[in-house]
Amino acid sequence: MNHTDTGYTEASIREIVEAQRRFFRTGTTLPVRWRKQQLKRLKAAVLAHETEFEEALAADLGRSPLEAYLCDIGPIITEVNEMLSGLRRWARPERHFSGLMCFPSTLTKVYKMPYGVSLVISPFNFPILLTIGVVAAAMAGGNTVVVKSSSKSAACTAALKRFFAEVFPPEYVTLIDGGHDVADMCLAQRFDKIFYTGSPAVGKHVLAEAAKNLTPVALELGGEAGNWCVIRADADLKDAARKIAFFKLTNAGQICININQIAVAEEVAGAFLEELKRAFIAQIGEHAEDNPEYPKLITEAAYDKCAKLADEYRGRIVFGGTGNRTERKYAPTIIYPVDRNEPIVQHELFCPLLPVVPFPDAEVDRMMETIADREHPLAMYLFTRDLKWANRTMQTMQYGGGCINEVCIHMMVKGVPFNGTGHSGMGAYHGEWGFREFTHPQTVLTGRTFLNLPLREHPYGGEAGKKKMWLLRLFER
């Protein structure tokens, strides 16, 4: 029997899952009223633990209280509020007319049934939001939840473990901590739904393990080739630079929808770079690594990886390129010029490095073809005054979501889905889309015991068959 440093074994994890399955089968989680009570309890507990979560985010990621609330805590409250206001409507069975082919049945319903026992594997970069936010969606759907949180964000994982133990019984929601070995023990169990947030490489592993039990999976991934921001020659450069600088500073670039690389029209590249430098300095100072508000990279290994890659491009760094390993802070770093086919723009960076690729504005469609040829990104950002081109491009590219003349806030809009496609994910959540992700639509037709025609019954030949064929063709019109 495998053991871990946290004390978990395959047998102990199996018992957790089985206890949740027994609880689910009691039907306790099914009534919408009960689910709303639990969501209200979750919301109240998040507000009560706000300071503790802020301190944990500071310990793991160097977040300031404002950034912690802006990026992790506030969005949870918004998300739960949307669930509380919409859940009864979302969960209501759909009523459909059965159709003439099903006569004498007239009524068919579609019930939104929870999957059952769900596994939520959450990441280190937004450890509070991307744990509690997904758990809330699972709860809204009527599921029980086992959480496997990241071992990299140790302070947040410890805070979350205390949080869930205080708020909910373990047969309803419980958190399991530990490393990859514990995650694999969880994946070895038969869950009814798995939701994983993280890298494409681990996403493939999760999908392979889930396939052994044919467990439905939602994956929220960063994207194999990273997210592009394209700046046309007619863009408002100052506005674009201000928004991009804010976004790249947030969580030190450790965001799945962050800008991985910029493609800028070469006609305005110099002017844009100057605006971007000014925007960074205005928001964080000339040495971001010395600013207490600037977040840090999650581990020393992450810092070393970032610094090593920056050193490889040292001759092309036009801003930044400095860091403080003790504090795990590396300054936002602009690398220019970079060719569109260089390795640094063909994989997700997940750090403050920002390679910039120049292209002739007249060849923008060729630049978009280069992006389209790579794995689908989680996000796409376009800056231009040519909204006709921008809208056409957004409607013909494949990516998770994005913005025109803006960054990141598409994921804060109520009522819309969030996730990627292909190497950037599968499935979707937020609001009603999260409820849908954690429920299975079940179609139920109610038959009748009178006026049943022998239309579907033998014989199919002779005069009887001809009459039945005539009726079938009539009903199918």
Identify the CA nearest to 19 among candidates 167, 144, 185. Answer: 144
Give how far the C-alpha of residue 377 lies from the chain's centroid of Cα atoms, to the nearest Å: 12
Per-position DSSP letters for 9-69, written without gaps between them? BHHHHHHHHHHHHHHHTTTTT-SHHHHHHHHHHHHHHHHHTHHHHHHHHHHHH---HHHHI
Identify the CA nearest to 144 among candidates 111, 189, 182, 185. Answer: 189
pLDDT tens readout for residues 400-417: 999 999 999 999 999 999
pLDDT at 442: 98
pLDDT at 455: 84
pLDDT tens readout for residues 137-153: 999 999 999 999 999 99
For residue 179, the SS3 value is: coil
- pLDDT band, very low/low/confident/very high, at 5 (cuts 50, 70, 90): low
Picking from 422-426, 452-456, 468-472, which range would have the lowest pLDDT averaged per residue? 452-456
pLDDT at 453: 81
pLDDT at 288: 96
Identify the CA nearest to 121 among candidates 191, 57, 197. Answer: 197
- pLDDT band, very low/low/confident/very high, at 228 (cuts 50, 70, 90): very high
pLDDT tens readout for residues 431-449: 999 999 999 999 999 999 9
Q: Averaged over 167-180, what is the pLDDT?
A: 97
- Considering Cα of 249, then 252, then 257, then 261, what sign does the dihedral take? positive
Q: How far apart are CA 310 and CA 343, in angstroms?
A: 13
Q: What is the mean pLDDT of the chain?
A: 96
Q: Averaged over 72-79, what is the pLDDT?
A: 96
Of all residues in the chain, what percent are helix, strand and coil, respectively (each to 5)? Answer: 45, 20, 35
Write down the pTM of the prediction.
Answer: 0.95
In angstroms, the Cα distances linking 154 to 5, 46, 58, 130, 467 are: 14, 18, 12, 15, 72
Q: How many CB atoms lie within 10 A of CB 36?
A: 18
pLDDT at 103: 87
pLDDT tens readout for residues 311-361: 999 999 999 999 999 999 999 999 999 999 999 999 999 999 999 999 999
Under DSSP, the state recorded for 459 is: P
Under DSSP, the state recorded for 422 is: B
**Residues recognised as catalytic:** 220, 256
Predicted confidence (pLDDT) at residue 25 exceeds the cutoff of 70: yes
In order of their start, the domains of the chain are 10-222+427-440 (3.40.605.10), 227-418 (3.40.309.10), 447-475 (no CATH)
In angstroms, the Cα distances linking 339 to 118, 313, 317, 345, 357 are: 44, 12, 14, 8, 6
Q: Averaged over 69-89, what is the pLDDT?
A: 97
pLDDT tens readout for residues 97-137: 998 888 899 999 999 999 999 999 999 999 999 999 999 99
Q: How far apart are CA 208 and CA 202, in angstroms?
A: 10
C-beta separation of 64 from 249 below 8 A? no
C-beta separation of 200 from 220 below 8 A? no
Helices (H), 31-171: 32-48, 50-61, 65-68, 74-91, 129-140, 154-167
Q: How far apart are CA 404 and CA 46, in angstroms?
A: 33
Predicted confidence (pLDDT) at residue 3 exceeds the cutoff of 90: no
